[in-house]
Amino acid sequence: MEKEYLFSKKIKCAVCQELFEAKTVRTARLRRKQPDFDLRPRFQDIDPIKYDVYSCPHCGYTALSRYFDPLTKGQISLVLENICMHFTPTEGPEPDIYDYEFAIARYEQSLKCSETKKASVSEIAYTHLKLSWMYRAYGETLPEHAAGEAKQKEEAYYKKAYDGFQKALSTEDFPICGMDSLTMDYLLACIACHFKEYSFASRAVSNILGSQTADRRMKDKALDLKDVIVTAIKKEAEKKNA
């Protein structure tokens, strides 16, 4: 099933200039399912996030597709020196479909390359978020007794994404990672709730509710989230008073 959603696309490596084939998802075919609480998208038959990384088999340079190129000359030198010099070219074709271990390895390599090329704070935060989502999805495929490590990694990358996006908010202009400020507010409010940082979550939700540009759907989602926050704050207070 998953295979039918994929095709191969020729990509030119931004570092070594060699061509390679990357598995790409036919997005027109995707059938959306209910997303997770934090907007992580879900689709029938396939998790397209697994395929959102380009990795050059010749030199090892790897990045999320949206950040694969262009690179500055300085970034190319950094990657050549710190990644490519130590990379053994991959032989043979790619697997027909990626399992989560394979996809996660790609994301880990992508993170290493982002740090090496001194990517923007938001690019690194976005990679952390997607890695966290990959570990969440991987954990869902494991029996509960075996999912502990995946859960820990999911949490650790989630926290890094949260910290990184907050930093990006004060240093970068929108759109950030393709998100407008309302989408970012919603995403961060969800993550803040997860970490029980309710005052930050409340502020982000208020931004959405007070916005002139947020549509009805967005405001409804923000109202639902506000209910969650209010209930959680009450529960915390009861626990303290008990």
Residues 124-163 that bind Zn ion (CB under 5 A): none
- Which of residues 58 and 219 has its CB atom nearest to Zn ion in the complex? 58
CB of residue 12 to Zn ion, shortest distance in Å: 9
Number of residues this chain uses to bind Zn ion (CB under 5 A):
7
Q: Is 167 in the site for Zn ion (CB under 5 A)?
A: no
* CB contact at 8 A, 43 and 30: yes
Tokens representing 62 are: 């790897």
CB of residue 89 to Zn ion, shortest distance in Å: 9
Q: Is 16 in the site for Zn ion (CB under 5 A)?
A: yes
- Which of residues 19 and 223 has its CB atom nearest to Zn ion in the complex? 19
130 Cα distance to chain centroid: 2
Q: Is 58 in the site for Zn ion (CB under 5 A)?
A: yes
One of 25, 46, 53, 59 touching Zn ion (CB under 5 A):
59
Q: Which stretch binds Zn ion (CB under 5 A): 15-23, 106-114, 198-206, 230-238?
A: 15-23
Dihedral angle over CA of 64, 70, 71, 73, nearest 10? 160
Q: Which stretch binds Zn ion (CB under 5 A): 60-68, 130-138, 196-204, 224-232?
A: 60-68
Residue 142 burial class via C-beta count within 10 angstroms: exposed 0-12, middle 13-18, buried 19 and up: middle
What is the crossing angle of helices 198-209 and 216-241, to 10°?
A: 150
CA-wise closest residue to 100 among 149, 136, 151: 136
CB of residue 84 to Zn ion, shortest distance in Å: 7
Q: Is 76 in the site for Zn ion (CB under 5 A)?
A: no
One of 5, 6, 11, 13 touching Zn ion (CB under 5 A):
13
**Amino acid of residue 161:** A
- Which of residues 55 and 207 has its CB atom nearest to Zn ion in the complex? 55
Helix (H, G, I), strand (E, B), or coil: what is residue 86?
Answer: helix
Q: Is 113 in the site for Zn ion (CB under 5 A)?
A: no
**Please, which residues bridge with residue 6 across strands?**
25
Q: How far is CA 213 from CA 38, 104, 131, 151, 169, in A?
A: 21, 37, 31, 36, 19
Other C-beta atoms closer than 10 Å to the C-beta of 55 total 22
CB of residue 128 to Zn ion, shortest distance in Å: 24
Q: Which stretch binds Zn ion (CB under 5 A): 53-61, 70-78, 137-145, 223-231?
A: 53-61
User: Which residues sit at the interface with Zn ion, rule CB under 5 A?
Assistant: 13, 15-16, 56, 58-59, 61
